[in-house]
Structure 1
Amino acid sequence: MATPTPSTNTPSKHVHAFCSPAPRSVPPTGNLNMMSYDSPAVLNMLNDASSGMGGVGMGGVGMGITMSSLGMSNLGLSASTLGRADEAERNRRLRMILEMIEKKPGRVSEEGLLALCTRMGILYEKHLDEAGMWSLVIGDTAICDVKFKTDDIERVDLQTALDESMPELYFGATGSEMLVRSLKPLPGQSKINATLERFAESLEKLLTLDKLGSPQNGGVSCWDAIAGVYTSLKKLFEHEKKTDLANRAPDERYRTYKAEREVMCKKSGRPRLNGGSCLGLSLEYWMDRRHLIPTNAPSPSDKGKEKMDMDSHESPAYPEDSVPESNGIYSLTIECESSPSTLYTPIRISNEWISDRIEKPADANDANASIDNILLNTPSIDWLDPKPTYLEASAQPDDAMNLDSATGRLPNIRFVAKFNPPLVVPFAVYMQLYQIVGIEPRSEDFRTTTFVGLALRPGEVDPGMTGTTGESTHEIRSSRSVLVLDSEGKAGKRKHDMSLYVPKMEYSRTLESLPFSHPKQLVEILPMLRQYAHTTSLLRECFYEKAEKPVSSVDPTGHAMPPKPPSSADGELPPLQVDVNLSYTPPAPRLILHIPHPSSNFSTKTDSIGPPLTSVSALIATLLSPTDTLFLNPLSVTLDIHANAELVVAEQNLIAVPPLQSSSIATATAGDVDMDAAEEIEAKIKRLGRALDVCGDMGIWGEWLRREVGRYDQEA
């Protein structure tokens, strides 16, 4: 560790001159006005320029200062007074620590569960006829039975009001499965470290919905409102999945899973009740590496899968639930929150958010029709606008003067979509999303934060806060090992020294929640959300500081690779310097990858492959080398991430594009261009972008590009 440089701004360098030579356990003797400068309160006073105690902020305590000149008698301070102040400060900090500990849910055990219920105000009772069984009474709309066996979770049974009003959804059964998962240890976590945190979040959500739907608030069921949104979104999802299946071969493997993921990532999203780790309704809109399906995933027939979804009380099988680290999912959790009905459109209880025909033909006279549907003559979604839901008359005479629960009033509740995980978007996109849902953003949202600070380096000072935004190119570095496949298919590891350059810092915001009044607003913003979800995934995979993890096991071809590939005879392959440029400015994020050419001897900034250039003579000898492969330009690919996360290769230097024979494009004729060759080149260029879409890792993608260049050279 480097030795600290002496600084005149360090106040503690002169403190020893005032400290008593006696041990700290021995109380000071003599004058009672003398204070021990080991006290934090005194040091704080010395550091405070406004206290008049001199000189600390400008190079330590001033020379020649005596206790009398400090004016202790004028301040009216004594050792006992300072002692009481110091004791009060300790008590205050202790209370803060205890409050912080109390907010943390305990570990998974009977004692921890009961303590959690007490803190949250949930009534509980023990079953007399069954040992280890506890019933948690969550308001008036939900009961949760938890069965313990020596502090291990044996069974969880959830029953809600939705199971009575809409039993065909099997909300309690699927919710019970989700709650059991939330009480089990996470992958790689020991049982003793399993906490009640995820279970507590679900209980908090149940309590919130019960409170919003209580008779005091008008008695409007939030459960029924959310279930109505789910019914309409599910109807739309099944229609789009059926359309996609019709375009696939009947014998295609995993065709059902592929169709569902296509609708989830390119269409209206995939609605799920109690899916993954989310209790309630979630609309999944993006999945990392959606083309990768585990080889051991079940392959049900279409009819069997559909029957399991519609008729079974168990959750449908999704392969991505078993490997969340490989298939990261972005979703919107649809909930309810308190909001004045006079300021925002309240919730409506209806299953008719969309018509039975789902789609309607393009109509230029339709004011709600999209301009893209009119120009392309494609059908659009036939959304409906349900009637408002009014409050019923209160049965309690004490509520006669409560205007918020009077007959004919609208409920003071609105829908809200919570981002899971939170999503970082440019400030212009942030404002556009709020305009789509028809509300104004909060005033505290106007901060000088950036994508780098929010998404890649959340623990550091945001570059936007330093006041140097736009004055210089910001750089982030990281090192990681990636999987490498040579031309013969042999696996190895290589270290990538990666640098991310951001020439222009775009101010950004983190989306955590977004109110909405109609599910069509959510479907409308999904293409935009996918742009930045995919961008975030690609960059966080390479530049986010996280714990060391195994080498990625995904190849651009979509085949699973061994997690620990064998290295070469001499150890790991020589490292590479990989540079990435980021432009986060709307309308589309742009990534530019630079990676050394496979035939170049300059593969890193330190020349790790070729001989080290330790002298000027060695450098001159290298420059005069007759080999023409030393200074090949690095491979460069420019990608634009468009709506629905479509990767478009804007520029590249891997594939040679022959120029038109005519000197002007305007005068070129069909005979000037070989259309078959042009289509072949275009297909190769599109294949470059698809490879990144499949593997989802810029490091692996760069190695694949190097291998493809070698293949192109051999074909030439």
Structure 2
Amino acid sequence: MSTPMRHGPSQQGRTPSQHPAAAPTPQASTPFSTTQAAAALSPHGPRSSPQQLKKSPATGTLSSGIISSQPGNPPLNFDSPSAAAALGGLGLDIQFDNISVGGLVGGANRSDEDDRKKRMDAVIQALWNFDTGRVSNDGLERLATRLGLECLWESAGTSVENDKVLVIAGRTMAVEVAIKNHVVYHASLTFNEPSPSLDKHVEKASAILFNDLALGPDESQLTKKLSKFRVNLEHLASLDRLSITPGLNCHEAVAGVWESLEKLHRWDVERLREDPALSDKPDEYLRVRALCNRHGCPLMHTRGRIGLTLDYWKQYHNYPGTKVEGGNGKTWGVLIDCATADTMVYTPVRVSDKWIGPNVVKTDSIDDEVMTATGPILDWLEPPNTILPPTEEAKSEGGLETTSGLSAPKPIEVAFMATFNPPVVVTHGIAMEIYKISAFNAPLSGNTFDNLLFPVAEGANYDPSEPRVMTFTQTVPTFVDIGNGQKEPDLKAHRNTLLVDKPVYGQVVTQVPISHPKDLMPMLPMLRQYAFLSLLLANSFKPREGREAMPLVPESRPAKEGTSNMSALDQKYKDFINSPERLKVDIVLSAHPIPRLQLVFPFKQITAMINLEIQLDGKIHIVSDNIFSDSESEASPFKCKGKFLGRKQWAQKLEDCENIGHWIEFIKYKLE
């Protein structure tokens, strides 16, 4: 069901009119001296809009002093040593443009209301983005209060004086943290109402929360930060804030989507096992294959993050031993969450675990699947709308409030939101395809596809209408024959040059609203296509993690007599990188209408030229070349050592290694 364009509640929280009148609180001597003031400054809490900042009793001194500067409420004195110490202690680099407090809050230099609000929001955001603090009794309570959650301290039931339990409670859930002498030794998540779809994941979520707070082997009580715990608690608080009791539990809505996606994933694995070539493969191998080639793999509470993720691409996915969770390599996924609808056209959240039929696919009978040219048709279902129960409506008659009836059901102003993690750089046309599926009107960037992949350095001379050239030198591990059929490892240096002949507009796809998990399925092939392209280019033009890019010409620094500026190994690596024996590899990128790479490199007595297409689902197609052949009888200047490889097999090898440099070295070794 579509809802016309309308304004939902702000993502920063409810407006003051939606809250009951708050009880006055004592005025603070400084803007950072109380928990209430800190909570009011939070941009994510329920009291964080500029209007609320003015009207909240907890910030009466702050708001009247900063925004109105009325008589009786003197302006806040930022020139005082305590205020200066507070701001300086936070480590904030806030530029006030040669103004004092009056200039910040509405003096002669900044009289425009919108400008004052913008500057105030910048200060609030800077305060909120600042480090949340360390794990401690006060730090935990302060963080929970900032997120709009209730806190209650209880005795742990032991004889230890400082052994306590902090209960962080919302409408639908609670987090219990057992802490002794500011060291957390237990944490657990519970939900107020029993739910099978939620209860099966509670233990895993509790383990993540505990890992966020517990001291690791190399961590100290003085340095243990709340940063990781804050991200997960903020996620729980957001879903809790969007939930409406009774009627809508956003935690349960997300868990219900997992139930249906997991059913689809298990069906994908069973279908893969029917392939004779895969029948003897372990379950984990088939799960990874379904993740990258079918409908993805849904995971609840994975990689240290609480919530639902639909993984759709994984680095090294064709390597033996790769696992769905854990292991090396980068993973691409879609975080499925809930968010306020704002002004977008949306279908409200529905709480259900039946988004797909019991047989997963449509059938004419029990055994016959409904087939199309692309395969069986999935049996997606449309769960009923979640309806909030009517509430008692108080009407005023003659100055008296009387309950004379029930109000109409309140519309749900919450939608499912899919957030791409990491964001994917795509061309303008692909972005339009993705936004069309979700009916999302996203703002378009005026940036080019290549500049989004490889941002131009600040101050560099860059004309997006002109061809772009960039170079990078890297080492490529390979093997060399040493005789008697034996090989030994070796390193080769490649000087890669990227040429973007015809720049096209690009877009960073960050998030889209969805009304149904089926909306994600047509997006996955396109997302894999550009995730794999970005991986290929990054492996050729970005330094590997943990090693900085080496300069092409070594810097000459005077060293003390008898000493060296670098280790012998670093010097050997640097000399190797800058040696003249670098293989020159030219890579021409064409992004429209389909991503293509042209590889040009010297090969024996000729110049090899290979044109590749990166197709949907991250598949490689060799369009043309001058070194391969499709059969041993085909005329070709080169022959394969050992087992013959045709163009499809060569394309598969590139898909397997995910690295152009490794692939080129394998070509040099294999062809003779």
TM-score, normalised on structure 2? Answer: 0.68
1:270 and 1:123 mapped to 2: Cα distance?
35
> Is 2:665 the counterpart of 1:703?
yes
1:550-589 → structure 2 map (5 Å cutoff): 574-586=581-593, 588-589=594-595
Amino acid across the alignment from 2:598: I
1:485 to 479, 485, 488: 479
Equivalent of residue 356 in structure 2, options 326, 331, 354: 354
Task: Write out per-residue CA displacement over residues 165-189 of structure 1, whole angstroms, 9 at most, x where no aligned residue.
Answer: 1267522211112223445799999
The residue number in structure 2 matching 1:281 is 308
C-alpha distance in 2 between matches for 1:187 and 1:645: 40
Question: Structure 1 residue 273: deviation in Å?
Answer: 0.8
Aligned to 1:125: 152
Q: Distance in 1 between matches of 2:154 and 2:458?
A: 51
Which residue is 2:20 aligned to? Answer: none
Distance 1:234-1:322 versus aligned 2 partners, 3 A rule: closer
Between the aligned partners of 1:152 and 1:596, the Cα distance in structure 2 is: 61
Residues of 2 paired with 1:695 and 1:187: CA distance? 35
Aligned to 1:6: none
- Aligned counterpart, 1:525: 523
* Distance of 2:587 and 2:216 partners within structure 1: 34
Q: Name the CA distance, whole Å, in 2 between partners of 1:331 and 1:188.
A: 30
Amino acid in the other structure paired with 1:579: D
Change (3 A) 1:167 1:523: closer
Per-residue deviation, 1:681: 11
1:356 is displaced (CA, Å) by 0.8
SS at match of 1:100: helix
Distance 2:502 2:633 in 1: 35
Aligned residue among 455, 458, 463 for 1:457: 455
Deviations 1:181-203 (A, max 9, x none): 44579999998765333321222
Change in CA separation of 1:149 and 1:684 when aligned onto 2, cut-off 3 Å: farther
Which residue in 2 is equivalent to 1:540? 538
Pair 1:456–1:199, CA change in 2 (3 A): farther
Correspondence for 1:441: 441
Alpha-carbon separation, structure 1, partners of 2:379 and 2:141: 49
Residues 203-214 of structure 1: pairs in structure 2 closer than 5 A: 203-214=233-244
Q: CA deviation at 1:284?
A: 0.7
Aligned position for 2:609 = 636
> What's 2:168 paired with?
137
- 1:504 deviates by 1.2
Q: Letter of the 2:176 partner, please give it.
A: D
Instruction: Specify whether residues 329 and 655 from structure 1 end up closer, same or farther in structure 2 by C-alpha distance, changes over 3 A only.
Output: same
Deviation at 1:102, TM superposition (A): 4.2
Q: Which amino acid aligns with 1:354?
A: I
Alpha-carbon spacing, 1:168–1:390, altered in 2? closer, same or farther (3 Å): closer
Partners of 1:99 and 1:342 lie apart in 2 by 25
Q: How does 1:355-504 map to 2 (within 5 A)?
A: 355-360=357-362, 374-375=372-373, 378-394=375-391, 397=394, 406-437=407-438, 439-442=439-442, 445-457=443-455, 460=458, 468-470=463-465, 472-487=466-481, 488-504=486-502
Name the SS for the 2:286 alignment partner: helix
1:434 match: secondary structure: helix
Cα 1:449–1:225 change in 2 (3 A) is same
- In the alignment, which residue of structure 2 is the partner of 1:338? 340
Q: Is the 8 A contact 2:440 2:512 kept in 1?
A: no
Indicate conservation of the 8 Å contact 1:389/1:410, yes or no.
Answer: no
Q: CA-atom RMSD, angstroms?
A: 4.2
Q: Which amino acid aligns with 1:584?
A: A
Match of 2:289 in 1: 262
Which of 567, 585, 598 is the aligned partner of 1:592?
598
| In structure 1, C-alpha distance between the alignment counterparts of 2:215 and 2:626, rounded to whole Å | 48
| Cα separation, 1, equivalents of 2:436 and 2:164 | 50
Are 1:180 and 2:207 matched, yes or no?
Answer: no
Confirm or deny: 8 A CA contact 2:631 2:646 kept in the other structure: no
Name 1:329's counterpart in structure 2: 331
Amino acid of the residue matched to residue 583 of structure 1? S
User: Shift of residue 684 of structure 1?
Assistant: 2.2
Distance 2:576 2:104 in 1: 56
Please give the alpha-carbon distance, in whole angstroms, between the structure 2 residues aligned to 1:193 and 1:637.
Answer: 53
The answer to whether the Cα contact below 8 Å between 1:341 and 1:413 also exists between their aligned partners in 2 is no
Distance 1:85 1:576, change over 3 A: closer
Q: Which runs of 5+ in 1 are unaligned?
A: 1-83, 298-318, 364-368, 552-563, 600-628, 662-672
2:142 alignment partner AA: A
Could you tell me which amino acid in structure 2 is paired with residue 416 of structure 1? M
1:196 pairs with 2:197: no
Instruction: Choose the corresponding residue for 1:245, options 273, 276, 281.
Output: 273
Decide whether the 8 Å contact of 2:357 with 2:381 is kept in 1: yes
In 1, the alpha carbon distance for the partners of 2:363 and 2:467 equals 49
The percent identity for this pair of structures is 23
Aligned to 2:61: none
- Report the equivalent of 1:688: 650
| Aligned residue number for residue 112 of structure 1 | 139
Mapping of 1:226-241 within 5 angstroms? 226-241=254-269
Structure 1 residue 88 corresponds to structure 2 residue 104: no
Mark the CA change 1:341 to 1:506 in structure 2 (over 3 Å): closer, same or farther: closer
Match of 2:36 in 1: none
- Structure 1 residue 527: Cα displacement: 1.0
What residue identity is the alignment partner of 1:332?
V
Cα deviation, 1:257-280, whole Å, max 9, x if unaligned, reads: 111011111111101111113311
Deviation at 1:657, TM superposition (A): 5.8
Query: What amino acid maps onto 2:614 in structure 1?
Result: I
Contact 2:425 2:452 in 1 (8 A): yes
1:567-613 deviations in whole A, cap 9, x for unaligned?
99x96784222221111113x3112222332x3xxxxxxxxxxxxxx
Cα distance change on mapping 1:119 and 1:413 into 2, 3 Å:
closer
Following TM superposition, by how much is the alpha carbon of 1:115 offset from its aligned partner in structure 2, in angstroms? Answer: 3.1
Question: 2:538 aligns to what SS in structure 1?
Answer: helix
Unaligned runs of 5+ residues in structure 2 are 1-95, 106-118, 550-568
Q: Whole-Å Cα distance in 1 between the matches of residues 547 and 340 of structure 2?
A: 42
> Does structure 2 retain, via aligned residues, the 8 Å contact 1:530–1:645?
yes
What CA distance in whole angstroms lies between the structure 2 residues aligned with 1:450 and 1:281?
A: 32
The residue aligned with 1:507 is 505
SS, match of residue 523 in structure 2: helix
Alpha-carbon spacing, 1:119–1:527, altered in 2? closer, same or farther (3 Å):
same
3-state DSSP class of the match of 2:332? Answer: strand
Conserved? CA contact 2:632–2:644, under 8 Å: no
**CA-CA distance at 1:105 after TM superposition:** 3.1
Letter in 2 for 1:333: L
Q: CA deviation at 1:112?
A: 3.4
